[in-house]
Amino acid sequence: MLLDLTGFKITQTSAKDGNREIGVRAHDAGHTELLAFLFLTPENKSQTAATCLQEDLKQIRKDNGKFAEQLNPLRTDNSETATIVLTYPSNNQVLYKYAGVADQCLVIQVYADKGSKLDLAQASALLERQHYNPRYAPTTGDVLRYQQVRGHVLMASGKPSTNTPTPRMLVTWYGTGGIPLPSGSEWKLTLLTAYNKAARPAAEFKNDTTNVIISFIISENLSGNPTAEGCRKDIIDGILKGNGPLISNQTEGEMSDGHGGKFATSSHFTQLDGTAHNHDVFAFAGNAKVCAEAHVSTVSGKPDEDTRLADALTLFKPDLSYHPDSSDYFTLASTFFKQSPMMGAPFFDAALKTMPADLTDQDLVTRRRIATDDIVIALGTNGRLKQARAYAEHAIKSDPDYPLNYYNLACADAEEGNAKDAKLHLQQAFDRKANTIPGEKLPDPTKDGSILKLKNDKDFWAFVQTLK
């Protein structure tokens, strides 16, 4: 969502748990208010501007009582945008503009302050300046700004987004380096995710006593400068470019890393609602391969804010030479997979690659089975059947008794229309059904979307129905 808010002042930003919605409220010097929301609709993965409008309108009708509806009031709608104006009995009007694609919807509404009248032509011109680009790739600044918005919401609500166990280290799946994460009860995990195709793992914590939020991010150093200063410039430049009008008192410096070296630092104030500001302080470590970052923040103007922020920064103890082990990868992968299978897949792959080839520890055997199964699921659901098959076939060589490896091959066979091999691999899976992980059961093939693709093959389907 690319907003042109020239002449407007942002008065509020918001975000919902689960990374499903972000919103902006802005007001001009006169009497016009603008609200914009970009949100996901997992229940509908084929949205258009028209469907987004109709679905939102159902909720508006439910919530807001009586009004007159006029679709396409200024005759500007096209395949990419849809508009509607609602006129209430008080004669107040609200103009809405919608866009949508896949499972995303954008809605922007414009209305006048109470006691004022909306100029539809002026409001329409304002909406014409706003653009929705579903192919836009978020920048580092975008990601950090979103994290800041979520941090403000979490601070206000005190509600964590997940009950995820805290990992020991934040690591990438493709190189060395790690950031130890807080383990004390005073720091509550509020966000654990990975951005940029899982290349930028991030963890956010909140201290309810001090009202400080701290975020950690580790990623490849793409700045071209193998230093902490290079990492700082890359990140902070993105923030300033994307949010310059909201940022003031930006300063840079350094602080001891506790081992005779220095972290590069940056601090600024970010405007919130009205006259309120957030106090943001960053610390960076970096080398030619990796950047490690800590970001602490709290609402400015409260007692001892500098001390509280400085105390939180003492948690930042990156080890850029750290070599992650399979447990590091597996813990992160298990969390990321629940958010998006492809987010977890590269971490599961790294876990597999760092496990000994000859496993005697049953816990590691179980982890290897889960990692392989989840990678195959992630690849299969993304249509990458050749790669999914390769993982399953490789697993069979080292773990020939685990039934899910064969079941996954059967699913790949069915997706490719190969009933003969699907039958063979299903039989091999059910012959080994006693060897599932404790508490695990083989899926019911009669309800599996992949296997169902061969339902019209009468002989194959008769065989499937005999499997118990």
Q: Strand order in 290-299's β-sheet?
A: 187-195, 200-207, 212-220, 290-299, 277-286, 262-271, 247-256
What percentage of residues in the chain have a pLDDT greater than 90?
57
Model confidence band, residue 260 (pLDDT cutoffs 50, 70, 90): confident
**What is the rounded average pLDDT of the residues 357-373?**
87
Read off the amino acid at residue 433. K
Query: pLDDT at residue 156 above 50?
Result: no
Residue 164's pLDDT is what?
41
Instruction: Check whether 141 has a pLDDT greater than 70.
Output: no
| Residue of higher predicted confidence among 85 and 15 | 85
pLDDT tens digits for range 157-210? 333 333 345 689 999 999 999 999 998 889 999 999 999 889 999 999 999 999
Rounded-to-10 torsion of CA 142, 145, 151, 154 = -60
pTM: 0.65
Higher pLDDT, 450 or 406: 406
**Distance between CA 179 and CA 183 in Å, rounded?**
12
- Determine the average pLDDT of the residues in 217-229: 96
Q: What is the pLDDT of residue 157?
A: 38
pLDDT tens per residue across span 401-442:
999 999 999 999 999 999 999 999 999 999 999 999 888 889
- Closest by CA to 316, choosing from 203, 160, 221, 223, is 203
* Residue 265 structure tokens: 């630092």
Rounded-to-integer distance, Cα 239 and Cα 275, Å: 20
Residue range 88-100: average pLDDT?
90
C-alpha pair distances (Å), 365 with each of 168, 324, 375, 433: 21, 19, 16, 17
Q: Could you give the CA distance from residue 410 to residue 464 in angstroms, rounded to a whole number?
A: 11
Alpha-carbon gap, residue 214 to 5, rounded angstroms: 30
Going 218 to 223 to 227 to 230, the CA torsion angle's sign is: negative
Measured distance CA(270)–CA(236) in Å, rounded: 13
Q: Six-digit token pair at 173?
A: 């799946």
Q: What is the pLDDT of residue 166?
A: 67
Q: Read off the pLDDT of residues 329-363 as tens digits, 9 standing for 90 and up.
A: 999 999 898 888 899 999 999 999 999 877 778 88
Q: What's the confidence (pLDDT) of residue 19?
A: 56
Residues of the chain above pLDDT 70, percent: 91
Domains of the chain: 8-128 (3.40.1000), 140-313 (3.40.1000.10), 333-464 (1.25.40.10)
Instruction: Specify whether the CB–CB gap between 453 and 415 falls below 8 A.
Output: yes
User: For residue range 280-311, what is the model confidence (pLDDT) as tens digits?
Assistant: 999 999 999 999 999 999 999 888 999 999 99
Q: Give the side-chain half-sphere CA count within 13 A for 176.
A: 9
What is the average pLDDT value for the chain, to the nearest integer?
87
Mean per-residue pLDDT for 105-124? 87
Residue 138 binned pLDDT confidence (cut-offs 50, 70, 90) = low
β-strand partners of 14: 23
113 pLDDT band, cuts 50/70/90, is: confident
Of 76-90, 110-124, 451-465, give the lowest mean pLDDT range: 110-124
| Confidence band of 86 (pLDDT split at 50, 70, 90) | very high
Average pLDDT over residues 58-71: 83
Give Rg (Cα) of the chain: 26
Q: Which of 109-123, 140-154, 199-213, 385-399 has the lowest mean pLDDT?
A: 140-154
Task: For residue 259, report the phi and psi dihedrals to the nearest 5 degrees.
Answer: -130, 30
Q: What pLDDT is stored for residue 290 in this prediction? A: 97
Give the per-residue pLDDT at 244.
Answer: 81
Residue partners of 460: CB distance under 8 A and separation at least 6: 419, 422, 423, 454
Give me the pLDDT at residue 151, please. Answer: 43
pLDDT of residue 154: 37
Res 159: pLDDT: 35
**Average pLDDT of 245-271?**
92
Question: Are the C-beta atoms of 318 and 178 separated by less than 8 Å?
Answer: yes
